[in-house]
Structure 1
Amino acid sequence: MQSLNILEKESLENWDESWDLIMTLAGGHITSKLFNVLMKYSICDIINESPKHYKDIAIIINFNEFSCYRLLRYFVPFGLFKENDGVFSITDKSKRLILGGSVHSQCKKMSSIEYFKLFESIPDSLLQNKNLGPSSLGYSGFWDIFKDNQDFKLLFTEGMREYSNLSLPTILNKTDFSSFNSVVDVGGAHGWVVGKLVEKYQNLNGIIFDLDVVINSPINKIQHPRVQYVSGSFFESVPSADCYVLKFILHDWADEKCLEILKTISKSMKENSKIYIFDSIIDPANYKKEILFLDMCVFQFFNGKERTINQWRQLYDTAGFNIDSINYETKPELVILSKKNK
């Protein structure tokens, strides 16, 4: 009897673990497709107003009643909803998904039709070691998508704002900008980081530097008397400043392009200027899912990559920079650079 109980326990564990592999790895696209429906019809927002019976929700979104019910109950084990006899209520987890929630735009973006299409070619991309994502949508480059698809551009830039919001507490609390009078956020888009920095440091003036297609897009930008927006390309020139912030910029580019960006910045740097680079650092002894997830995204979209600290060191050294310090307490990690003495 004892051996039978052990077998039953092992069988149950194998069953649960096997189905977790099936649903998470093999069938993850199914969950994402269903999640896309959830976000498309703003169901979290509807339930956030007050708990509602699935029949009432079905009327609001013009769905078949039972189809609505099976969609809602699918996400109960994920912790997105609670159910009581057909009445569904919101949870702390799903509050992050409502409009204005901490990951609303990111989740809506990553479960969008555009993202599904962008990743259709990932097997061939890996085979050829070449990013084919944009070509899946009929474009030669990722940023070209923005020219025709304003909704996706807005969703993408809002998603980047959420990235900034998630990282801002560690950037503000774990870094020091007090010695600088001017800072340029290179590829800063909405200006959230610099906006918060100039609020904290009264002596600081900020410049948001990005492409014209980003600067002049209808995104919710920071407005502050000590912040200005400048459009241009960091492959050509950047404004002069005491400090340059690059947050999730270099991981979008292959090494040779990163070198071009860093050398462009180097030309505008003052004698004691610093570069604050906020980018993920791969630790081969402790892989993080989110970093390796980003690695696949930046590869498929831009031919970029996440890097180990040794890869970062080699890149900075080749570009003519010293690493002054590495801060692992910020999210993403912070590396501070200074120009090598000639």
Structure 2
Amino acid sequence: MGIFSGRRSQGALHYSTPSPGMRQALAEEMAKDRESASFLTAEANGYIYACCLRVVAQLGVADLLADGPVHVRHLAERVSADELALYRVLRLLATRGIVRETDSGVFVLMERGASLRSDSKFSVREGILAATTPAIYRAGGELLHALTTGEPAVNHVFGEPLFDYFASHPTEGAEFHTGMGQYSVIESANFVRECRLPETGTVVDVGGGQGSLLLMILQRHRGLHGVLFDLPHVIAHHRLGELEDSNRWTTVGGSFFDSLPAGDTYVIQYVLHNWDDPRCVEILRNCRRGLAPGGRVIIHDMIVPPGNEPDQSKVLDIVMLSIVTGRERTQHEFEQLLHAAGLRIVTITPPTLGALSTIEAEAL
């Protein structure tokens, strides 16, 4: 029976009046529902912040704010934007502390927005463009396909895997790869600063792209010889020539699913999360086969923490769900992969800067 209950007495219908306690309980229940509705609506609109970040990154607005406050009129003129539209975008970003409106129409770049500048030491301008490239957004919009089939949503959207799509759409591909390279450089600097590497021997950078990480390693550890391993068309654009001593490095083209050059240390950064478990085991087994006695396999990747607390790895994991067959993994899942490949974890170093943990493994 509800709060407002009725009963018949001698042919008449009488209603009982709710008590003050019942009215209070009803009001509290309605308040909770309103709060939930408000929260969920705001969450559903959260993508708009990323859209605003993308357009200010595209236009280079942060660079124009480098020297202090600027009126939106002048910003709009410099970037060929509509003044009112740009104002509305900056007004929203001001609610997140990225910029601040100091006077009517006048904006200043805040500390939180400093890495939007292209000249920032840890610039993420290009990384933001990669993370918000339309192909990624479209795949996210079709996430239901991934949930119902287990296949990347991007395959459903474009009829082909993500990297095949980027190969046939070079402008979008260049935006994505350049931005991902920017994130990789930042994490590489953290890796070189924090990871313990041997003083001598051969270090193989597995899937090392253009060699940013290996270059930093060789610059810091002058007794090491480096091998950059990736697909031939990728390493064709390597950066190792920036190292003065060309005798300290070698490039080898090939697929890490087939075989790997021999080495004392294998470094794998931002690679395993792109692939499903069987493919990861293939990569790690090839590391195990080429590993010198006493050598190490070092994985630099995100580890998903347990519990309900927010973490960047849990966000990126859903991105991976929509675009590739891989995922971000827990410590236990890494242990299983390594064991299947004949390896075991020796140490795990959580990130002090950046988002990637360092997993050191050795042969069983």
Alignment correspondent of 1:154: 174
- Give the CA deviation at 1:97: 1.0
Alignment correspondent of 1:223: 242
- Give the CA deviation at 1:221: 6.4
Query: Which of these residues, 208, 214, 229, is aligned with residue 209 of structure 1?
Result: 229
Q: Tell me, which stretches of 5 or more residues in structure 2 are unaligned? A: 1-29
**SS of structure 1 residue aligned to 2:326:** coil
Query: Which of these residues, 189, 196, 200, is aligned with residue 209 of structure 2?
Result: 189
**SS of structure 1 residue aligned to 2:280:** helix
Alignment correspondent of 1:268: 290
1:130 and 1:74 map into 2 onto residues whose CA distance is: 35
Q: Note closer, same or farther for the CA distance 1:13–1:54 as it changes in structure 2 (3 Å cut).
A: farther
1:284 and 1:222 map into 2 onto residues whose CA distance is: 42
1:145 and 1:337 map into 2 onto residues whose CA distance is: 35
Alignment correspondent of 1:77: 95
- Give the CA deviation at 1:256: 0.8
Query: Which of these residues, 41, 54, 75, is aligned with residue 72 of structure 2?
Result: 54
Written as runs of structure 1 = structure 2, the 5 A alignment for 1:31-42 is 31-42=49-60
**SS of structure 1 residue aligned to 2:260:** coil
Deviations 1:116-140 (Å, cap 9, x if unpaired)? 122222111112122121442342x
**SS of structure 2 residue aligned to 1:281:** coil
Deviations 1:70-125 (Å, cap 9, x if unpaired)? 22212111112122222212122222012244211111112222221222221111
Query: Superposition RMSD on alpha carbons, in Å?
Result: 2.8
- The amino acid that maps onto 2:361 is L
Query: Which of these residues, 100, 109, 125, is aligned with residue 130 of structure 2?
Result: 109
Asked if 1:98 is matched to 2:117, the reply is: yes
1:110 and 1:228 map into 2 onto residues whose CA distance is: 32
**Contact 1:117–1:137 at 8 Å: present in 2 too?**
no
Q: Note closer, same or farther for the CA distance 1:60–1:30 as it changes in structure 2 (3 Å cut).
A: same
Alignment correspondent of 2:255: 233
- The amino acid that maps onto 2:165 is I
1:170 and 1:64 map into 2 onto residues whose CA distance is: 40
Alignment correspondent of 1:166: 186
- Give the CA deviation at 1:227: 3.1
Query: Which of these residues, 75, 80, 85, is aligned with residue 67 of structure 1?
Result: 85
- The amino acid that maps onto 2:137 is F
Q: Please, which moves more after superposition, 63-72 or 255-264? A: 63-72
Q: Please, which moves more after superposition, 145-154 or 250-259? A: 145-154
Deviations 1:161-217 (Å, cap 9, x if unpaired)? 333333345423332112441101111113222212111111011122112332235
- The amino acid that maps onto 2:90 is L
**Contact 2:93–2:99 at 8 Å: present in 1 too?**
yes
- Give the CA deviation at 1:242: 0.7
Alignment correspondent of 1:176: 196
- The amino acid that maps onto 1:332 is L
Asked if 1:143 is matched to 2:163, the reply is: yes
Per the normalisation by structure 2, the TM-score is 0.81
Deviations 1:34-63 (Å, cap 9, x if unpaired)? 332222222222222553211122222333
1:124 and 1:243 map into 2 onto residues whose CA distance is: 39
Q: Note closer, same or farther for the CA distance 1:329–1:184 as it changes in structure 2 (3 Å cut).
A: same
Query: Which of these residues, 239, 250, 264, is aligned with residue 242 of structure 1?
Result: 264
Alignment correspondent of 1:296: 318
1:197 and 1:248 map into 2 onto residues whose CA distance is: 16
Q: Note closer, same or farther for the CA distance 1:174–1:21 as it changes in structure 2 (3 Å cut).
A: same
**Contact 2:317–2:328 at 8 Å: present in 1 too?**
yes
Say how many residue pairs are matched.
330
Q: Tell me, which stretches of 5 or more residues in structure 1 are unaligned? A: 1-10
- The amino acid that maps onto 1:38 is V
Asked if 1:336 is matched to 2:360, the reply is: yes
Q: Please, which moves more after superposition, 220-229 or 101-110? A: 220-229
- The amino acid that maps onto 2:303 is I
Higher Cα Rg, which structure: 2
**SS of structure 2 residue aligned to 1:292:** helix
**Contact 2:199–2:221 at 8 Å: present in 1 too?**
no
**Contact 2:62–2:116 at 8 Å: present in 1 too?**
yes
Alignment correspondent of 1:5: none
**Contact 1:180–1:243 at 8 Å: present in 2 too?**
no
1:189 and 1:262 map into 2 onto residues whose CA distance is: 18
1:157 and 1:188 map into 2 onto residues whose CA distance is: 13
- The amino acid that maps onto 2:108 is S
